[in-house]
Structure 1
């Protein structure tokens, strides 16, 4: 069975060791861009872990181009976080002063209660403002002198992948669009990106698989992605990479692929070297991932309420929150327990923000364990408003009749 369905079985310790020693280590663009978001200690820990990899370091053309395309934007954005922090402190100060004024207006409470509170809190606020200002002064200006870029360039010197051949680009783009339509991972949740950028995850994935196949070596991919078109999530728990990815890697390349999120890569790398895991660095990586996820991903699934289920029928409600106005969005639900086969899914919007424009709604799935709901504004100039959306779904697996 293992030889026929090897992607379903986790590699044993010996195979993992061989991949870490003789495989190819590659990363996505955000793993590199996040280096600008970390404190120096975390940044150096991650760079050292990549440098210490015993196999081959290699960077896909797609990851390289995304890194350079977004580098300046990330640097400027990171600098803006100091202003955001100062603004939050100022909001806190104003809020406290407002509370103090309200307390003073309450004649039952002694006046010195409010004065004493302000007297004790004000120095803490002032100290926080000074520390933020000091952090801003000492933060590197990567636009003028970028040692991160120099270190990344040194790591991947002579190890950058090729572009797709011009003759193959149209075919590969068409395949990317077909995969996105049919919800084949990775990247089908990137609908909101412009131009060919919705295909970026697939282009990255295909270039990695091509390199693995051509060099007959297994891959260790480090990614900052946490979306469900990369990771299998059941009942809110991430159980591992999507099985479709592991299967495709095995069938396309004949090689194993290990996929790690950045924090887990740093942990495993330290453990293999017999080093103490830098827990502060790991926690910072997770915090940056969560913050970026909140900013980049407009949709949060609040809950899924299952009304009824069986092997061939599921129904329920999916409640999602839209964080920012968008032209369209996709949200995902799960069939738990799984169905006997990929079902037909119908969906209706039963509650939404009052200012919702005319829109189109559809649902689809290619698996027996999850489904996607898509909603799109019918008018390009009208965005879907922020707020809570409640979808009612019905999924039914139709069994084929056996003709004797």
Structure 2
């Protein structure tokens, strides 16, 4: 007897990982069509030369199954200079950032010494002890301590800069990546859609899919031109059409992307489950192309090549893959370029460096779990970081920095109806931990955060959410 219709029809929604378990994983690597997102290809310009060679050699184990959508190819050839310029700018600025931080540390040490000296004189008239502190903590002595630290920090930066063998201008004269990628794909490159097909797809995405939040790409609605906003959907549509042409009766499509936990590719977390690829993507590919879908991060993908196809990738290369995946294709936010950050846009905008940590300190948070989420470069944590930035300013816990955008993200609301279907009633939290349990709704990402932190910080975060919800309720009335 086969599976009941209810289980069969909604299989993608019933599985916690949306068909990303390992039971049939090998088939995707040994038989499936492999589609690499633009960010995976651009990452090759981020790696050191040895790591890049290992990754390209690993990809050469599946050349007959690699396929390049036209949209990915276009974004790749246009994005090479930007990636190299971002890296060059970051590495060029890094020594100054290190010096500025040590200058700030120098001032903090001297200020701390002055504070102790004032207390010694004020409460004990102990000028002798104060004088000893003057000898131990004067600008020259502090500089003497900091000098070897500065040298120790700058030396690896110099090595890092020298190991990266590409400069922005070099890709025009001597690009070591583009010829290798071209050879890998051969003629397996998607054709450019006609103007009529392109127009129809863009109109379908912007007029129907995006307003109804059908993945992928709805989070890019309103981004630049309609053509720019529809980029992810144009890529997806090419994948669907190519999957329909696969000759293998068992059609597998393995999609690899560093856009993990982006809200229009990944469903938000819920209690007991982290973010997962949208089940709608799996259903759509099966219904329209009769194909099974698997979505993997670059790290997981290359681990799979290692496991099933016996590539030789070292741990050091895996670390480079992970670092590049966390930062590539997500430029830091220019604070004055965004008038307001919402839950829809937060996962696409990295908060200004250090701002979330300032918010963390302003309310006395202390747990390692919350601090890790606050300092994480991963998109999975950006919504929380923006909420913490916004709520601490809204409640007067800290002063805003110059150009800081307003934030319209709520962790909870008081209402008889949820703001979105995926929000949970306040009753999911234990009695005594949450006010207004019977008349509130809580964001899934916030519940997931509370379940992973200490009791002390959980209470602090809940109080912030309650105060924000109360303020919004009073304003509405």
**What secondary structure, in the 3-state scheme, does the structure 2 residue paired with 1:150 have?**
helix
CA distance in 1, matches of 2:24, 2:66: 19
Quick check: 2:48–2:163 contact (8 Å CA) kept in 1? Answer: no
1:67 aligns with 2:76: yes
Q: What is the aligned partner in structure 2 of residue 382 from structure 1?
A: none
1:165 aligns with 2:174: no
Q: TM-score, normalised by structure 2?
A: 0.60
Q: What is the aligned partner in structure 1 of residue 210 from structure 2?
A: 180
**What secondary structure, in the 3-state scheme, does the structure 2 residue paired with 1:209 have?**
helix
Quick check: 2:254–2:295 contact (8 Å CA) kept in 1? Answer: yes
1:212 aligns with 2:243: yes
Matches within 5 A, 1:240-251: 240-251=276-287
1:234 aligns with 2:263: no
Deviation at 1:185, TM superposition (A): 0.5
Q: What is the aligned partner in structure 2 of residue 223 from structure 1?
A: 257
Q: 2:318 aligns with which of 282, 286, 304?
A: 282
- Structure 2: which 5+ residue stretches go unaligned? 118-129, 334-347, 361-385, 391-400, 424-443, 446-464
Distance 1:179 1:76, change over 3 A: same
Q: What is the aligned partner in structure 2 of residue 111 from structure 1?
A: 135
Q: What is the aligned partner in structure 2 of residue 356 from structure 1?
A: none
RMSD between superposed Cα atoms in Å = 4.0
- Structure 1: which 5+ residue stretches go unaligned? 304-317, 346-368, 371-387, 395-404
Q: 2:45 aligns with which of 19, 25, 36?
A: 36
Q: 2:349 aligns with which of 295, 298, 314?
A: 298
Deviation at 1:343, TM superposition (A): 5.4
- What do residues 250-276 of structure 1 show as CA deviations (whole Å, max 9, x unaligned)? 101101011101111122222224567
CA distance in 1, matches of 2:59, 2:289: 24
**What secondary structure, in the 3-state scheme, does the structure 1 residue paired with 2:268 have?**
strand
Q: What is the aligned partner in structure 1 of residue 299 from structure 2?
A: 263
Greater RCO (Cα-Cα under 8 Å, separation 6 or more): 2
Q: 2:157 aligns with which of 107, 132, 138?
A: 132
Matches within 5 A, 1:322-401: none
1:80 aligns with 2:89: yes
CA distance in 2, matches of 1:330, 1:150: 46
1:58 aligns with 2:67: yes
- What do residues 56-79 of structure 1 show as CA deviations (whole Å, max 9, x unaligned)? 111100000011121111111111
Distance 1:329 1:190, change over 3 A: farther
Quick check: 2:29–2:304 contact (8 Å CA) kept in 1? Answer: no
Quick check: 1:218–1:256 contact (8 Å CA) kept in 2? Answer: yes
**What secondary structure, in the 3-state scheme, does the structure 1 residue paired with 2:219 have?**
coil
Distance 1:243 1:334, change over 3 A: farther
Deviates more, 1:14-23 or 1:27-36: 14-23
CA distance in 2, matches of 1:12, 1:140: 38
CA distance in 2, matches of 1:137, 1:12: 41
CA distance in 2, matches of 1:324, 1:51: 49
- Alignment length, in residue pairs? 338
CA distance in 1, matches of 2:239, 2:406: 30
Deviation at 1:391, TM superposition (A): 7.1
Distance 1:187 1:12, change over 3 A: closer
Deviation at 1:184, TM superposition (A): 0.6
Q: 2:220 aligns with which of 190, 211, 221?
A: 190
CA distance in 2, matches of 1:299, 1:138: 27
Q: TM-score, normalised by structure 1?
A: 0.70
